[in-house]
Chain A
Amino acid sequence: MSREILKVSGLSMRFGGLLAVNGVGLTVKEKQVVSMIGPNGAGKTTVFNCLTGFYKPTAGTILLDGEAIQGLAGHEIARKGVVRTFQNVRLFKDMTAVENLLIAQHRHLNTNFLAGLFKTPAFRKSERDAMEYAAYWLDKVNLTEFANRPAGTLAYGQQRRLEIARCMMTRPRILMLDEPAAGLNPKETEDLKALISVLRNEHNATVLLIEHDMKLVMSISDHIVVINQGTPLADGTPEQIRDNPEVIKAYLGEA
């Protein structure tokens, strides 16, 4: 069986008197797509924020390839290869699409001050490589023709795709998508589903997903974790989750 990329156990997050996340555990294996679902306000995004270092979890361990990363700063976790998108798209709106992708490659670039000042060959090469890599990914997400447009002027679905491409630029070990299908029309959701499959099958991406679109979740996930009111409710394959009475109750209320 493939390697465990991310292993979370006993994750808790307390805001004053509110226990937003209580003992959540999940395991993501290499090249898996794992989804986290649950009613609104269940604490899914809080789990994401803990995993990516935006919150410091109150308790629990987060192991990335066996290395504990809980409590590290956000940019340090991102550098270790845990990269996320946001529920409300967070692109650099005044910068062009291709520049958005260049920013994401910042730490792979030649940032030597003098090299940049005098445009040394090494600097030019590093910039050219970054540009080529950005062009490659723009092509992957079908945005090549919009490369030089400010990101803020793109259509919503395009912005979503650009944000995913931007994450891929950092060469992540695990890609975390926070409601990537929110606000997309059915056609765009289909495209998104295809894109996630491509990421997994051709680029060996491991994906952790928060999503409300059940059709998307059921069709794409290898494994599903259900959270309700901050506590783990169920855990299993899409079929197991679909037939779980507890889950149905949490979503639809008591009959």
Chain B
Amino acid sequence: MTRHLKSALFSALLVWAVAYPVLGLKLSIVGIGLEVHNSSPLTLAIIAICSVLMFVRVLFSDQLSAAWKASPNMPKVPAKASNFLTLPSTQRWIILGLVVVALVWPFYGSRGAVDIATLILIYVMLGLGLNIVVGLAGLLDLGYVGFYAVGAYTYAMLSHYFGFSFWVCLPIAGLMAATFGFLLGFPVLRLRGDYLAIVTLGFGEIIRLFLRNLTDITGGPNGISNIPKPTLFGLSFDRTAAEGMQTFHEYFGLEYNSINKVIFLYLIALVLVLIVLFVINRLLRMPIGRAWEALREDEIACRALGLNPTIIKLSAFTLGATFAGFAGSFFAARQGLVTPESFTFIESAIILAIVVLGGMGSQLGVILAAIVMILLPEMMREFSEYRMLLFGAMMVLMMIWRPQGLLPMQRPHLELRK
């Protein structure tokens, strides 16, 4: 016990050192200056209690962990169940179930909820796309948001300057992002690991700064606004249609309801996610999917067998970028406005966090993680000051308890039938 005394004291002090400046001090504006005040005694008391608890916890850590192990009714996932949950076939059924729920519920949900769900779907799409690059091919890409920006700006600019509709621009945005992925990938992919991460990070920022400073074309920091929403075979969801167009509610003789537009956007996002899911599921079972896996495991062996590592990596990079392009153009349509500030590095970090949190390579994991990552901050608006703190705490806890992610997936193994 005494040997823990020192570290216990240190931990208790650490609680003070971390919590006091964040929670115990309040800044208030007096005139033009800032003043620092102590916050309420209650807060200070809570910090004190926490530090005492920490002290006791570290001091008795041996006894506590022994008791922890001895307690018989700990809810623990049996090995069989966790194996069952990580099987590709199980996860496929769960995803199918989720899709059915996702198809039905917006018609009963509130407008705000459907809107958030649409945002979640955008991140699911981004997460699935990055999952190809990071989870399957094992290339750490920190500049993924760059391709998202390319997709968004492609639609914004095409519609702004040429009046192209969303449906025409969607494939163009995907192609455009793929082209960028291909061009950036060529010089970058001969690098490995950390170097690749740094260079992709740089490229992501370059794209953003480029969009920001190309004021004549992209509108600079103000971005491009008034981007039209998608239409259903030419039927717009606005209250009054533009010239020569019809609105959805007039055509079907319905009362105008703004929720129709939200649900329609949600359904488009859902369809896009389903397409991405289908493509990834096929890829996993195609030669190229196997080659990604092989390359992640042993690049030298791949070369010795005549597989061209550059082309295989490039295909992963390009495909990932394509999906980001789709997500980007949908994002532009939903938002009606794109500015460079929507594509900062923190977006890349969030998408990467979704992939890691969900379990690398797992599609169901990415979906769950996207829900958690987007929904939690929305639901905890009262705590918005501490959002980043909670975010960090969640990441640390995840890495301690489930480093493999929320729901990792075993790769679908090809088996020899006898």
User: In whole angstroms, how far apart are the Cα atoms of A84 and B290 in the complex?
Assistant: 21
Given contacts A74-B303, A78-B305, A93-B297, contact A116 B282 (CB under 8 A): yes
Distance of B288 from chain A, by nearest CB (Å): 6
A225 contacts across to B, CB distance below 8 A = none
Evaluate whether A170 and B305 lie within 8 angstroms (CB atoms) in the complex, with A109-B287, A116-B288 already known.
yes
Q: Say whether, besides A92-B298, A107-B306, A102 and B415 are in contact (CB < 8 Å).
A: no
* Given A94-B297, A96-B414, A131-B416, A113:B288 Cβ within 8 A: yes
Quick check: A106 and B307 within 8 Å, CB to CB?
yes
Task: Please provide the chain A residues from 167 to 201 with a CB less than 8 Å away from any CB of chain B in the complex.
Answer: 167, 170
Residue of B whose beta carbon sits closest to that of A80: B306
- B273-294 contacts to A, CB under 8 A, are 279, 282-283, 285-288, 290-291, 293-294
- Known contacts A99-B414, A135-B416, A147-B415; A92 and B293 CB within 8 A of each other: yes
Q: Is B398 an interface residue (CB 8 A)?
A: no
Is the C-beta of B220 less than 8 angstroms from some C-beta in chain A? no
Inter-chain contact B304/A83, CB cutoff 8 Å: yes
Sorting the interface of chain B by its residue count into under 10, 10 to 19, 20 to 34 or 35 or more gives 20 to 34
The A-B contact count (CB < 8 A) is 108
A117 within 8 A of B: yes
Q: Does B308 contact A (CB under 8 A)?
A: yes
B357 to chain A: closest CB distance in Å? 22
Contact B304 A86 (CB under 8 A): yes
B300 close to A103 (CB less than 8 A) = no
Q: A95-B294, A98-B416 are in contact. Are A103 and B307 (CB under 8 A)?
A: yes
A17→B87 CA distance, assembly (Å): 54
Q: Decide yes or no whether A79 CB sits under 8 A from chain B.
A: yes
Q: In whole angstroms, what is the CA distance A75 to B301 when docked?
A: 10
Q: Which of B298, B306, B418 contacts A79 (CB 8 A)?
A: B306
A-side contacts of B418, CB under 8 Å: 144, 147
Q: How far is the CB of B385 from chain A (nearest CB, A)?
A: 44
Q: How far is the CA of A99 from the CA of B294 in the complex (A)?
A: 9
Residues of chain A within 8 A of B414, CB atoms compared = 96, 98-99, 102, 131
- A111–B288 touching, CB < 8 Å: yes
Check if A98 sits within 8 Å of B415, measured CB to CB: yes
The residue from B286, B293, B308, B411 contacting A75, defined by CB atoms under 8 A apart: B308
Q: Check B413 for interface membership: any CB of A closer than 8 A.
A: yes
> Does B221 interact with chain A (Cβ within 8 Å)?
no
Cβ-based interface call for A33 (8 A):
no
CA distance A52 to B306 in the complex (A): 10
Bound together, the chains give a CA A140 to CA B293 distance in angstroms of 26
Interface centre among A52, A53, A91, A113, by most chain B C-beta atoms within 10 angstroms, is A113
Of all chain B residues, the one with the shortest Cβ separation from A101 is B416
The reply to whether A90 and B298 contact each other, CB–CB distance below 8 Å, is: yes
Contact B306 A83 (CB under 8 A): yes
Is the Cβ of B303 less than 8 Å from the Cβ of A99? no
B403 touches A (CB below 8 Å): no
Instruction: Flag whether B302 is at the interface (Cβ < 8 A).
Output: yes
Contacts of A116 in B (CB 8 A): 282-283, 285-288
User: Quick check: is B377 within 8 A (CB to CB) of the other chain?
Assistant: no
Return A216 CB to nearest CB of chain B, in Å. Answer: 23
Q: Does B171 contact A (CB under 8 A)?
A: no
| Mask: chain B, 404-418; 1 = CB below 8 Å from A; 0 = not | 000000010111101
Q: How far is the CB of A48 from chain B (nearest CB, A)?
A: 10
Question: For window 44-60 of chain A, which residues contact chain B by CB distance below 8 Å?
Answer: 52-54
The chain B residue with its CB closest to the CB of A147 is B416
Find the residue from A54, A86, A92 having the highest chain B CB count within 10 A.
A92
Contact of B287 with A86 in the complex, beta carbons under 8 Å: no
Q: Is the CB of B305 within 8 A of A104?
A: yes
Contact A99:B290 (CB < 8 A) given known A75-B307, A134-B416: yes
Closest chain-B Cβ to A14's Cβ sits at a distance in Å of: 22
Determine the chain A residues whose CB is within 8 A of the CB of B285 once the complex forms: 116
Q: Does A166 contact B (CB under 8 A)?
A: yes
The answer, yes or no, to whether B219 is at the interface (CB within 8 Å) is no
Tell me which residues across on chain A come within 8 A of B300, comparing CB atoms: 54, 86, 90
Given pairs A75-B302, A94-B293, A170-B306, 7 additional interface contacts (CB within 8 A): A95-B297, A96-B414, A106-B287, A106-B306, A113-B286, A116-B288, A148-B415
10 pairs from A and B in contact (CB 8 Å cutoff) = A74-B304, A75-B305, A83-B305, A86-B304, A96-B415, A99-B290, A102-B290, A107-B307, A111-B288, A148-B416
Closest 8 CB pairs of A and B: A78-B306, A116-B286, A147-B416, A74-B303, A90-B301, A79-B306, A92-B297, A109-B287
A residues sitting closer than 8 Å to B (CB atoms) are: 52-54, 73-75, 78-79, 83-84, 86, 90-96, 98-99, 102-104, 106-107, 109-111, 113, 116-117, 119, 131, 134-135, 138, 144, 147-148, 166-167, 170
